[in-house]
Amino acid sequence: MQIEKQQTPDGWLFYNSAVWQEVNDAYFEARHWQQNRAVVGQAMGRGKTLFFRFKHRECVLRHYHRGGLVSKVSNDRYFYSGLQRSRVWREFSLLIKLRELGLPAPLAIAGRLKRIGLSFQADLITERIHGARDLANLLSERRLPLSTWQNIGETIAAFHKAGVYHADLNLRNVMLDEQGKVWLIDFDSGRLCRSRKKWQQANLARLYRSLEKEQAKPGYCHWLESDWQHLVAAYKQAL
């Protein structure tokens, strides 16, 4: 895959030239896709994520938003210290690398960094995983077969064997498509690093806490401790 980048009067645009041959600022504005009647859905998280169709692909447009206490000061601005140090460039580059490694992660399409003084805002476009639903959504409906828990454990192990650290491994960032294939999404602040048990176990612990948090919410999260143990056993065997 080839990353093309171009400097603009107020920042940078970059894209995967194997997917798109050009990109412009309008592609990162929701109103552009709304005016072209290309929007096929949206989702809410820290901010609104837009789904749109373009050139025979369903795409995901995500604006970068801060979380935690710092979001009270600045909702979507980050200190600018160069393109290659920015969160959007690092996530885009990591996604390109993950696809080269054959790992089930979203296809990176394009990104934008827009400078505002000493800060910047950013947006990322990836390909939508067809027919995929996140683990929280699935578990709200039914208990999943043990084979699925096994697949999740093996998939996480594949990322960990490749040295991929996922900064926010939770139920909403684990997806299953219509064929039952497991995908990991949202690699903001993720990175490639040396395989070490400490961060690998921290990743798993974060996913387990996500299960517990979901179970504590109104409604019901259909899983048992034995399901989790099945995931861990498959993870250890694959690792």
Residue 130 is encoded by which pair of tokens?
């067809």
DSSP 8-state symbol, 74: -
Q: Name beta bridge partners: 52.
A: 39, 59
Contact of 149 with 162, CB cutoff 8 Å: no
Amino acid sitting at position 159 = F
Backbone angles phi, psi at 231, to 5 degrees: -60, -50
Determine whether 123 is an active site residue: no
CB neighbours of residue 71 within 10 Å: 12
Cα 135 to Cα 184: distance, rounded to the nearest angstrom: 11
Catalytic residue among 168, 177, 186, 188: 168
Helices (H), strands (E): how many in the chain?
6, 13
The residues carrying an active-site annotation are: 168
